[in-house]
Amino acid sequence: MKVKTIDITAKEWFDKTFGNSYFSAQIILNYGLKDQEKYCLPFQYGYGDQYIYEAKASLNQINKISTNYNQNLRAYCKENNIILRKNKIDNCKKKEVKEFVK
């Protein structure tokens, strides 16, 4: 399968008690095309753009993309003419974040 688009949607929860952020994410390859595939990143610690780094690592691990260790996902997509769309939804409830990838 040739990857034409990568769509990453993450939900983030901030634990006010301990001051940590957590997220889960869905990765959709070739959104809206007949060879569309969906992958999930489970509930895990991370804040900011961590969901993008984890998505890149996950896609490398399952051999959907092949980036260099130091190459970020945006640069890889630009070099390979892949459309990258990313979205993070902040201020979610813990339950929402955990159930997002079920």
10-residue averages of pLDDT along the chain (102 residues): 97 97 98 98 98 98 94 97 98 98 90
pTM: 0.95
Distance of CA 37 to the CA centre of its chain: 13
Contact residues for 54 (Cβ-Cβ < 8 A; gap 6+): 25, 41, 44, 46
pLDDT number for residue 45: 98
Note every long-range contact of 70-75, with CB atoms under 8 Å and residues 24 or more positions apart, other chains counting.
73/6
Count of residues for the chain? 102
Residue 68: give the domain boundaries: 5-99
What domain count does the chain have? 1
pLDDT number for residue 27: 98
